Amino acid sequence: MTVRRSRAAPALARHRPAPTADLPIVARKTSKTLRTVLAAALLVAAYRYVVAPRLAQRGLGTWGPAVPATDTDHLRVVVWNVENFGDDRDRVENVVATLRDLDPAVAALVEVRDPAALRRALPDRRVIVSKRGGRGRQRLAFVVDERRAEILGEPVEHAALAMGGRVRPGFAVRVRGRPRGPDFHLALVHLKAMPQGAGLRRRQWRVLRRWVEALDDDRDLLLVGDFNPVGDGRASGSEDELSDLARTMAAAGLSLHTPPGACSAYWEGPRRDAWKEPSLLDLVFVRDLAEAVPSDDPLVRVAGACARTGCGRLRSTRARPDPFFAQTSDHCPLVLDLLQADDDP
């Protein structure tokens, strides 16, 4: 039996409209663009909230902005709580390696427990250490690359800020960048920690304000360090304390500068589990110094784990410790790149 094919079928097929023939070309392109944008947004979100935290756990995350290499147009200052520097040899090596990578002209360091170890580790730098360090022997230090910065006069230790010796003093030097400035006071502090220390911290603010107001022979000032604005244990305590501190310092002519992401340290968090939470403990206040503060970039950048995670939380356990949080410091370096500028007349 022979089956004849209908010759009408191909003709009907030729005249059947394509499924999208009625859609305008613009509409099809718009639909494709929206699908592409949506897919890209999903990929970004997946990286930010799924992939990046897992990479951060292994020390491989790259979400945060990188700190650029220092150059001859800038005077780099690094501010860093180095978490009881000297208590652990491996941590000492990691801290020193980080400092060399950041390559500051001046580093302002908090919690130096072993000044001799700092000097041995950085023999090519001038190391200036406070005499006092409170009950925890956590001294303050400046590390200076004298090829790029010089110290004018003698360092000044403000014993009144130690509140009778219970906590740390203030420590200040006058810095001048080589070859053409800027010059300014660099004042370093480490205020009382913990929510139960909120009352003492606020009394330290008054002492601190009187001290910086007395540094009027040159009003250019960087006031930096670990201010511990953690609040008094209430839900909004840390935000309230930071706002009050900023107002107190503003009355002395200082403005607060914070890094993008507004974090500088990690802590265990309220759950005390493997995830560590970001917080803002280390601060930079500036008075005058207009010739050296960049107008188009943030003055303060953050390095270390804070940059790697973009100030997101990170995971660190005993079995899989985060290489920065667990093996270097629970604080992140703050990096300031001041413009090389002529001194004030």
- Decide: 94 and 328 in contact? Cβ < 8 Å: yes
Domain borders along the chain are: 74-339
The residue-averaged pLDDT of 11-22 equals 49
The residue-averaged pLDDT of 312-332 equals 94
Q: How confident is the model at residue 237 (pLDDT cuts 50, 70, 90)?
A: confident
* The dihedral sign for the CA sequence 250, 107, 336, 305: negative
- Decide: 223 and 187 in contact? Cβ < 8 Å: yes
- Decide: 178 and 147 in contact? Cβ < 8 Å: yes
Predicted confidence at residue 44, as pLDDT, reads 55
The residue-averaged pLDDT of 254-260 equals 96
Q: How confident is the model at residue 51 (pLDDT cuts 50, 70, 90)?
A: low
Which amino acid belongs to residue 113?
Answer: R
Say whether pLDDT at 124 is over 90: yes
Q: How confident is the model at residue 3 (pLDDT cuts 50, 70, 90)?
A: very low
Predicted confidence at residue 22, as pLDDT, reads 53
Comparing 34 with 265, the larger pLDDT belongs to 265
Comparing 131 with 8, the larger pLDDT belongs to 131
Say whether pLDDT at 66 is over 60: yes
Q: How confident is the model at residue 344 (pLDDT cuts 50, 70, 90)?
A: low
Predicted confidence at residue 63, as pLDDT, reads 42
pLDDT digit string (tens) for 218-232?
Answer: 789 999 999 999 999
276's torsion region: left (phi>0), alpha (psi -120 to 50) or beta?
beta
The residue-averaged pLDDT of 45-58 equals 52
Predicted confidence at residue 9, as pLDDT, reads 46
Report the percent of the chain where pLDDT is more than 70: 83
For the chain, give the mean pLDDT.
87
Q: How confident is the model at residue 43 (pLDDT cuts 50, 70, 90)?
A: confident
Q: Which fold has domain 74-339?
A: Deoxyribonuclease I; Chain A (3.60.10)
Predicted confidence at residue 59, as pLDDT, reads 41
Comparing 154 with 61, the larger pLDDT belongs to 154
Within a 10 A sphere around the Cβ of 213, how many other Cβ atoms? 14
Say whether pLDDT at 61 is over 50: no
Cα separations in angstroms, 90 against 85, 143, 150, 265, 308: 10, 20, 30, 20, 21
Q: How far apart are CA 76 and CA 99, in angstroms?
A: 11
pLDDT digit string (tens) for 192-218?
Answer: 999 999 999 999 999 999 999 888 667
pTM confidence score: 0.81
Predicted confidence at residue 52, as pLDDT, reads 52
Predicted confidence at residue 23, as pLDDT, reads 52
